[in-house]
Amino acid sequence: MDFNPEKCRNETEVESKFVVHYLLPALGYPPDTWHQEVSLGSIRLDFLVFAVQNMPLTIRDNSPLVLVIEAKGPKQNLAPHVRKLRRYLTELQVPYGLLTNGKDFRIFERHGSETHLVFRCRGLEVSQKLPQIKALIGCEEMRLRQTAHFRLEQTQSVNCTPSPVPEVNPSPMLSVAKIEAQGEVQKSHAHRRSPQVSSSLIHLPEAPVMKTIAVYHNKGGVGKTTTVVNLAAAFRKRGKRVLIIDLDSQANTTFATGLMKFDDEADDTIKDCNVVHLLSSEDFYPIREVARPADYCIPFIDVVPAHINLMAKENDLGALDQSRMVLIQKLADVANDYDITIIDTPPALSLYARIALIAADYLIIPSDLKPFANQGLNNVKGLVKDVNGFRKMFGRPALQVLGVLASKVSTNAKFRDWTLPRRIQVIEDRYGLRVLDSLIFEREALAKCSESTMTVGQLEVPSPQSIFDFDPDSESAQEFERLAVEIEGKIRS
């Protein structure tokens, strides 16, 4: 059933016609799982949603509160309400928040004390995007995640050993609801957990754990950008908090993540705040300000966009000694906000490639394994050696080369069985580099997903998608999933 919330005429219609009669049933929430107009201390919520039946409204320490919904009138701008919603999520320790005025529809996800925008679309797109919305905040999906977390918690408290339960989603489970409820809400303190237990449950890192991976080869067209955007999506779908930094002036990653939807350069909102600004200033343009949530993957991924101006700025930046260190410093400032940062690089032995390799902990070298790309490997090794010399001067450990990623590999059976193993052997014997076990084959879907478009009114606008959002069952999606698992295994300290 399609419903267009943009037709709602006032706040009451957004609440009743859209949220109550369309959205909550469409997301699978029976009427006994949610409450309207709830007062909790000083907080007044439009809707408070639980993963399971909760009638009458009772809040205990382990109540499976999953979602706060705030509905506004169609004429109200949502921006001023975002801060309030963030506060509600943090104070009530609720993992998801939804803010809508019928025209604009935004979902926020909380990790510890940080709240990120993870989905946004126009009201009229809600019906069409329901599968993605359900994957994030559907009732069944929430229940599954909660079960996984409860099992995790039980295993940890019984064994005190790492749990075998896979991390379905990092979204913090509710721990102690830090609220002073009013009369109508009963409270129970019977099973209040210690703060330590709840913080381990919500995955608040004690020390910065962010790992930074540069994806680099000095040859173009070998699959660097394709690797960056889809590996990032694979990590995001596995529940990691991911940041992408585009350091290539061609801005292909910026495009492939959906940040360049404008048709006319007059609408270019990236030129005033991008990676050039970030690298040019030590004191201004922190990552939090420059990164934008990119909708090519659901949940969204933060991307620091590149711009063609990066090319013109190379000489100016090269003259500044500190330009090589600024990215390290700015990444350190967000070390608690992300689990993994992936940096895309230009196909050159340029300053930007150097900056990426200086800032990263790890390197992946995508290659089609053809003779030209192979010859380039000596250049890559030379740059890594150079960069390691520089890193040593600053007491930074050497860059760890995770390996060459065979990408754009032909699916021809004869090639796979005969030529491919020999090409892999050549890399290992002649260049002394390991080839990763995961392979990325040349497949149509992978080239197509970044070229997806959507129709807005009369216009066909770019709407690139990750392979997981474009075709989750495709072989390419499975290949990137395998790659993410392999890389995760290698970067776990």
Rule CB under 6 A: choose which of 169, 408, 480, 483 binds ligand ADP: 408
Rg value, the chain, Cα: 24
Is residue 447 close enough to count as binding ligand ADP by CB under 6 A?
yes
Binding site for Mg ion (CB under 5 A): 224-225, 252
Beta-strand pair 362-367/34-40: unpaired
DSSP conformation letters of 167-194: ----PPPP--------TTSB---TTPPP
Residue 58 DSSP label? B
Is residue 225 close enough to count as binding ligand ADP by CB under 6 A?
yes
Is residue 221 close enough to count as binding ligand ADP by CB under 6 A?
yes
Cβ-proximal residues to 283 (8 Å cutoff; 6+ apart), any chain: none
Is residue 432 close enough to count as binding ligand ADP by CB under 6 A?
no
- Of the candidate spans 187-195, 216-224, 334-342, 428-436, the one that interacts with ligand ADP by CB under 6 A turns out to be 216-224
DSSP conformation letters of 290-316: H-EEETTSSS-EEEE---THHHHHHHH
Q: How many CA atoms lie within 13 A of 121 on its CB side?
A: 22
Name residue 386's amino acid: D
Contact 32, 49 (CB under 8 A): no
Is residue 446 close enough to count as binding ligand ADP by CB under 6 A?
yes
Rounded Cα gap, residues 425 and 427, in angstroms: 5
- Of the candidate spans 57-65, 132-140, 266-274, 445-453, the one that interacts with ligand ADP by CB under 6 A turns out to be 445-453
Total of residues contacting ligand ADP (CB under 6 A): 17
Rule CB under 6 A: choose which of 220, 286, 318, 472 binds ligand ADP: 220
Rule CB under 6 A: choose which of 249, 252, 350, 466 binds ligand ADP: 252
Contact 94, 100 (CB under 8 A): no
Is residue 481 close enough to count as binding ligand ADP by CB under 6 A?
no
State both tokens at 372.
């030209």
Q: From the list ligand ADP, Mg ion, none, which binds 456 (C-beta under 5 to 8 Å, kind-based)?
A: none
Question: What minimum distance in Å lies between the beta carbon of 256 and Mg ion?
Answer: 9
Query: 139-159 and 130-137 helices cross at what angle (nearest 10)?
Result: 30
Is residue 389 close enough to count as binding ligand ADP by CB under 6 A?
no
Is residue 352 close enough to count as binding ligand ADP by CB under 6 A?
no
Rounded Cα gap, residues 226 and 256, in angstroms: 8
Question: What minimum distance in Å lies between the beta carbon of 399 and Mg ion?
Answer: 20
Q: From the list ligand ADP, Mg ion, none, which binds 249 (C-beta under 5 to 8 Å, kind-based)?
A: none
Q: From the list ligand ADP, Mg ion, none, which binds 443 (C-beta under 5 to 8 Å, kind-based)?
A: ligand ADP
Cβ distance to Mg ion smaller for residue 249 or 252: 252
- Of the candidate spans 220-228, 258-266, 270-278, 289-297, the one that interacts with ligand ADP by CB under 6 A turns out to be 220-228
Is residue 407 close enough to count as binding ligand ADP by CB under 6 A?
yes
Q: How many CA atoms lie within 13 A of 406 on its CB side?
A: 24
Rule CB under 6 A: choose which of 223, 293, 376, 464 binds ligand ADP: 223
Is residue 466 close enough to count as binding ligand ADP by CB under 6 A?
no
- Count the helices and strands in the chain (H runs, E runs): 19, 16
Q: From the list Mg ion, ligand ADP, none, which binds 226 (C-beta under 5 to 8 Å, kind-based)?
A: ligand ADP
Question: What minimum distance in Å lies between the beta carbon of 85 and ligand ADP?
Answer: 37
CA distances to 132, 256, 276, 490 from 477, in Å: 16, 16, 32, 20
The residues binding ligand ADP (CB under 6 A) are 220-226, 252, 347, 407-408, 440, 442-443, 446-447, 450
